[in-house]
Structure 1
């Protein structure tokens, strides 16, 4: 997992905990300073390794894998990313 993927994953997890949804592309762009293509590649990479579920409706549909992040919070998912 590269630096951008780790950063995007942390942002997605934080949004899901605080807002109950994933961040929009605009919110990801503002927080990472990266463009749409780079963000889409990072989201696809995270999906490929099973770290998020994402259905291509937009970044806001990205969720940490399993129970809206409950698995991550309970320690069932490796937190050392």
Structure 2
């Protein structure tokens, strides 16, 4: 039997090497997940900004359309189209 002072066996070295590889892989995975979470948070902020800006642009468009086409002209154009 192996005593506590004997040199590590080939199987032990292989096991330790595989555990080291697993630890490195888990570290990379953890960093990737953290980066993905940061990117998702940034995407959420940017999507919110896009929602706000698209709402503002729509309001500007409707305001300009209302100024260029007074209510009477719009009604006449609709009736002519019938």
- The TM-score with structure 2 as length reference comes to 0.22
Bigger RCO (CA 8 Å, 6+ sep): 1
Q: As a proportion of its length, which structure holds more helix? A: 2
> Which structure shows the higher strand fraction?
1
Structure number, greater radius of gyration? 2
> TM-score, with normalisation over the residues of structure 1?
0.22
